[in-house]
Amino acid sequence: MKLAPAQLGKHLQGALAPVYVVCGDEALLCQEATDAIRSASRAQGFTEREVFHAEANFDWGMLYEAGASLSLFAEKRVIELRIPNGKPGDKGAAAILEYLGRPPEDTLLLISLPKLDGSAQKTKWAKALIDGPHCQFVQIWPVDANGLPQWIRQRLAQSGMNASAEAIDLIAARVEGNLLAAAQEIEKLKLLADGQQIDAGTVQAAVADSARYDVFGLIDAILNGEAAHALRMLDGLRGEGQESLFIVVMLARELRQLANIAYQHGQGVPLDKAFASARPPVWDKRRPLVSKALQRHTPARWNALLMDAQQIDAQVKGQAPGDPWASLSRLVLMMAGQRLKLGA
């Protein structure tokens, strides 16, 4: 049977089902749902735990054996079955169906799945998990851009905090849809706010307190055309031990978006429409920065800079010659609009 994520907490206060399925691609929310099920099972005496990763060449006989064998060390146990690709195959489907036909007493099966597409949901094994009498199927949906501020507001409230609309918008703009990053920002705010109302200044302080330099700030400096400041921030990130690969990935992501928006705008699409259709969308507070950057280069130039970023990625991985940090410095300066001499 389907169980809404919002109802999971209340459900876990009662008798537990023999089988739980957590399905979805939002890592933080899936992790929290499985953690809640584990915690409830421990509280109800399920003290033994086995974990199976059903990847390529997994022996599905292990699930049969686990279901048939008696626990040696505890009266109750949890079996976790993780299927990363969401495709158990014929043998896996048969094993799951057999288990569901006779779920063993005093055993809780916790299955983790990615989001199932339409064809997968129509399979016999998936239908048995979704609608079966012994199952509780928890579908985790991602939080879209429009729902993110409300999600942040609820998350703050759960931690006993209130925030202004401006503060919430600032957090949302900073994390750009990354719920794990949003949760980390909220944890920092718990330390700084001390029970007080959170405003935009508190959020800014949390950002400043987390590190002297961060990649988000680097990107903002680049978009604003602050070449010298951006270069200092890059040096600071290197000094603080930031991985060069992460910086390359973030810059490439920004370049890809700039190239796409520049191309659309060049084809006559209004900027507001291009911003809204971008993935991820460009948030209102970032639009002036992005607009300023778009005036700096042609669509072809943004694409060329994206190719440069891909070359740096290869340097970081040892697949191309050159010093990735030196190349990053050049890329940052060029993105910010600094003209470089040939051979520099």
pLDDT digits (tens, 9 = 90+) for 116-155: 988 899 999 999 999 999 999 999 998 887 889 999 999 9
Instruction: Decide: residue 339, CB within 10 A, 0-12 exposed, 13-18 middle, 19+ buried.
Output: exposed
Residue 342 has pLDDT above 50, yes or no: no
Q: What angle is formed at CA 113 by the lines to CA 109 and CA 119, rounded to 5 degrees?
A: 120
pLDDT at 343: 47
Least confident of 31-35, 277-281, 311-315: 277-281
Residue 58 has pLDDT above 50, yes or no: yes
Distance between the two ends of the chain, CA-based, in angstroms? 64
pLDDT at 193: 72
Residue 175 has pLDDT above 90, yes or no: no
pLDDT at 269: 92
pLDDT at 240: 78
Cβ(306)–Cβ(252) under 8 Å? yes
Mean pLDDT of 316-331: 92
* Cβ neighbours of residue 291 closer than 8 Å, sequence gap 6 or more: 271
Sign of CA dihedral 198, 203, 208, 209: positive
Instruction: Decide: residue 118, CB within 10 A, 0-12 exposed, 13-18 middle, 19+ buried.
Output: exposed
Mean pLDDT of 218-222: 93
Please tell me the distance from the alpha carbon of residue 121 to that of residue 130, in angstroms, as a whole number.
8
158 against 111, higher pLDDT? 111
pLDDT category of residue 106 using cuts at 50, 70 and 90: confident
Residue 213 has pLDDT above 70, yes or no: no
pLDDT above 90 covers what percent of the chain?
A: 56
Cβ(192)–Cβ(201) under 8 Å? no
Write the CA distances from 76 to 43, 66, 71, 101, 106, integer angstroms: 11, 13, 7, 19, 5
pLDDT at 302: 96
Please tell me the distance from the alpha carbon of residue 79 to that of residue 130, in angstroms, as a whole number.
18
Q: What is the edge-to-edge ordering of all strands in the sheet holding 19-23?
A: 46-53, 76-82, 107-113, 19-23, 135-139
For residue 198, list its beta bridge partners.
163
DSSP, collapsed to helix, strand or coil, labels residue 48 as strand
pLDDT at 203: 84
pLDDT at 344: 44
48 against 17, higher pLDDT? 17
Count of CB atoms situated within 10 Å of the CB of 291: 16
Cβ(214)–Cβ(188) under 8 Å? no
Residues 8-28 pLDDT 10s: 999 999 999 999 999 998 888
Mean pLDDT of 240-249: 88
pLDDT at 74: 55
pTM (2 d.p.)? 0.60
* Cβ neighbours of residue 322 closer than 8 Å, sequence gap 6 or more: 311, 312, 315
Residue (of 256, 235, 214, 246) closest to 332 by Cα position:
235
pLDDT category of residue 57 using cuts at 50, 70 and 90: confident
* Cβ neighbours of residue 178 closer than 8 Å, sequence gap 6 or more: none
Write the CA distances from 217 to 52, 190, 207, 212, 226, integer angstroms: 41, 22, 9, 10, 11
184 against 60, higher pLDDT? 60
List of domains in the chain: 5-139 (3.40.50.300), 148-210 (1.10.8.60), 215-335 (1.20.272.10)
Cβ(290)–Cβ(280) under 8 Å? no
pLDDT at 211: 45
Mean pLDDT of 82-97: 92
